[in-house]
Amino acid sequence: MKRGIFRRSLLGFFLFAMIVTPVSAGTRSLNLTLKTPSSWLKKTVKPGTKILLHILYNDIELFNENVTFSSSKPSVAYVSSTGLIKAKKAGSAIVTARFRGRKAGFKITVSATSNLSSLRNRIVEYANQFVGVLPYVYGGNSLVTGTDCSGFIHLVLGHFGINTARTASEFQSMSDISYEDLLPGDIIVYRNGGHVALYAGNDIIIHAKGSKYGTVKESMWYNTPTGYVRLPV
């Protein structure tokens, strides 16, 4: 076999690889080879984690020169032009590296911190006590005498020192996550800002539904959601 042909044959066996190096001290490095451009590596990290990507092409490190990085959800996992990922808040994002028409990437899932997870559970437990008890009162601002849908969210979260919008229409403009990212304590918007509900997990909501119903607990699919808002903490 001629030398030139032999070299071209070897070139076909090289892989486009991504090495992920956690920046935080005390964390061991991970060498990750993605065998095809469509392969995705799944990894769960905590908010605040920083990950530096190193790209290899034909077994040569590129030092991220001429490599383009992108994130499907920068609000969850932001990636800089130099390949530094910053995990920002709970959710999932696809981080992709592109070089010479090829791409490699992975799905990064940012978990809620243990303290935040505990807070979410306490919010749902607190809201649950008003089911079947608290009447619906349009414009009301009391968890005793009654309130409306946005007032219920405002008052329940306010009990935990969390400041939120007071009207349902404001929540629609705050929509910043998708259904797949929902966690207990998040807010679901309906009718393009005409109604809001507290997400309790497992596709269940708690909300001040209306004067005929009061405060109820039911499937989130009783109507079609038009927005999802992350718990503002």
List average pLDDT for each run of 10 residues in the chain, which is 233 residues long: 44 42 35 36 69 72 79 90 84 84 79 74 96 97 97 96 93 87 92 96 95 97 95 78
pLDDT of residue 205: 98
pLDDT of residue 185: 94
Largest CA distance in the chain: 89
**163 and 219 both lie in a single domain:** yes
54: β partners: 19
**137 and 202 both lie in a single domain:** yes
Q: Which residues contact 27 (CB under 8 A, 6 or more apart)?
A: none
**43 and 68 both lie in a single domain:** yes
pLDDT of residue 189: 97
**141 and 102 both lie in a single domain:** no
Structure tokens at 193: 């800002």
pLDDT of residue 113: 64
The pTM (predicted TM-score) of the whole model is 0.55
Q: What is the CATH number of the domain that holds 180?
A: 3.90.1720.10
Domain boundary among 66, 83, 110: 110
Q: Which residues contact 81 (CB under 8 A, 6 or more apart)?
A: 69
CA 14 to chain centroid, in Å, comes to 34
pLDDT of residue 10: 38
pLDDT of residue 49: 78
**127 and 101 both lie in a single domain:** no
**18 and 78 both lie in a single domain:** yes
What is the Cα–Cα distance from 162 to 28, expressed in whole angstroms? 37
**37 and 81 both lie in a single domain:** yes
pLDDT of residue 13: 33
**80 and 127 both lie in a single domain:** no
What is the Cα–Cα distance from 108 to 48, expressed in whole angstroms? 13
Q: What is the CATH number of the domain that holds 66?
A: 2.60.40.1080
pLDDT of residue 62: 67
**121 and 223 both lie in a single domain:** yes
**145 and 86 both lie in a single domain:** no
| Exposure of 50 in the CB half-sphere (CA atoms within 13 A) | 9
**87 and 167 both lie in a single domain:** no
pLDDT of residue 224: 96
pLDDT of residue 33: 38
Range of the domain at 133: 114-229
Domain count, the chain: 2
